[in-house]
Amino acid sequence: MVRPGHPVTLGHEASGVVERVGSAVTKVRVGDRVAIEPGYPCRHCSFCLAGNYNLCLDMTFAAVPGPGDVVHGTLATFFRLPGDFCYKLPDHIGLDEGVILEPLAVAVHGLRLAKLKPGQDVLVLGAGPVGLLSCAVAREFGAGRIIAVDINEDRLAFAATELGMSTYKFDTAKSVEENVAELAAQHDLLDGVDVVVEATGVTSCIQTGIALARRGGSYVQVGLGKKIIDFPMVVMSEKELTVRGSFRYGFGDFTLASSLASRGKIPLKSFVSRIFPFRQAPDAWEAARKGQGIKILIQVDGSQN
């Protein structure tokens, strides 16, 4: 997405301190510690008026590269956005934890689209930040069994020890069919699961999710991957699955994420693996690329309060 000749400041998951407000802003004040939605819609199109502002065709979003009006990301010294897209952090939540509200809102949006009912079993494919947060949100939404799947043993250990989830290590040396059979046998999923949350965008994981979805179940695609994949359409149809795409977050998702965090329902602090100073930003990106830890943060101005 980032192309030579079109430099852009990166970053979209962020928190910070309000430096200045416009005369009409009433939600926040100078000095407030806030988490932010890093994009804002036009508020006038049919999607916005229907309450689906995440689908706005004129969305202004942080770190969008390319020609024209580039919106630089949140790794800048200052970032400007409407006051109603700022969420004041309570005193007991640090700025580092506030960063996690953005991916938490992504998880909330996906689980709301899944229409999860209390007691239903959930399979989450991918134990990155969004996948792990989806596990935590599913628990708060009243799910029965929740199983996290990944290839990274450290992240699966986090899912088990920090979140209390069941886990399965996907074996990339084996076929999808073999992994499906082993996962089903290991967790007694012969009839499948009620809800699948796919948080990787990887073809083999997508195929695994469709294979393990219960007949009449729900499948939500949260992760983004290749534009075109080998998708098991016949299986989807024969099972009469409800398949939904999930994109960012919409009306009420950030508010619910903030509420869950404020009430201590999500262990935000546990998700922050390491904080790099801005001068070590390349090291932070490399650590994230290697999958070291859960969430790697970059501290822009020297404040961690």
- Measured CA to CA, the distance from residue 120 to residue 220 in angstroms comes to 15
Look up the CATH number of the domain holding residue 143. Answer: 3.40.50.720
Task: Tell me: do 226 and 292 sit in the same domain.
Answer: no
The structure tokens listed for 127 are: 């134990």
Task: Tell me: do 120 and 214 sit in the same domain.
Answer: yes
231 within some domain: yes
Number of domains forming the structure of the chain: 2
Task: Tell me: do 123 and 215 sit in the same domain.
Answer: yes
Task: Tell me: do 239 and 127 sit in the same domain.
Answer: yes
Task: Tell me: do 186 and 289 sit in the same domain.
Answer: no
- Of residues 206 and 304, more confidence is placed in 206
Q: DSSP letters of 13-82?
A: S-EEE-----TT--S--TT-EEEE-SEE--S-SHHHHTT-GGG-TT-EETTB-SSSS-B--TTSS-----
The structure tokens listed for 172 are: 């990339």
Do residues 107 and 45 make contact, with C-beta atoms less than 8 angstroms apart?
A: no
Do residues 83 and 291 make contact, with C-beta atoms less than 8 angstroms apart?
A: no
pLDDT tens-digit map of 189-242: 999 999 999 999 999 999 999 999 999 999 999 999 999 999 999 999 999 999
3 within some domain: no
Task: Tell me: do 95 and 171 sit in the same domain.
Answer: no
The structure tokens listed for 86 are: 């700022």
Task: Tell me: do 235 and 146 sit in the same domain.
Answer: yes
pLDDT tens-digit map of 27-44: 999 999 999 999 999 999
Please report where in the chains the tokens 């969008």 appear, as a residue: 64
Q: State residue 291's pLDDT score.
A: 87
Angle between helices 129-140 and 153-161 (to 10 degrees): 20
pLDDT tens-digit map of 87-145: 999 999 999 999 999 999 999 999 999 999 999 999 999 999 999 999 999 999 999 99
Task: Tell me: do 155 and 69 sit in the same domain.
Answer: no
What range defines the domain where residue 238 resides?
113-245
Averaged pLDDT of the chain: 94
Q: Is the pLDDT of residue 8 over 90?
A: no
Among 127, 113, 140, 93, CA closest to 268 = 93
304 within some domain: no
4 falls in which pLDDT band (50, 70, 90)?
low
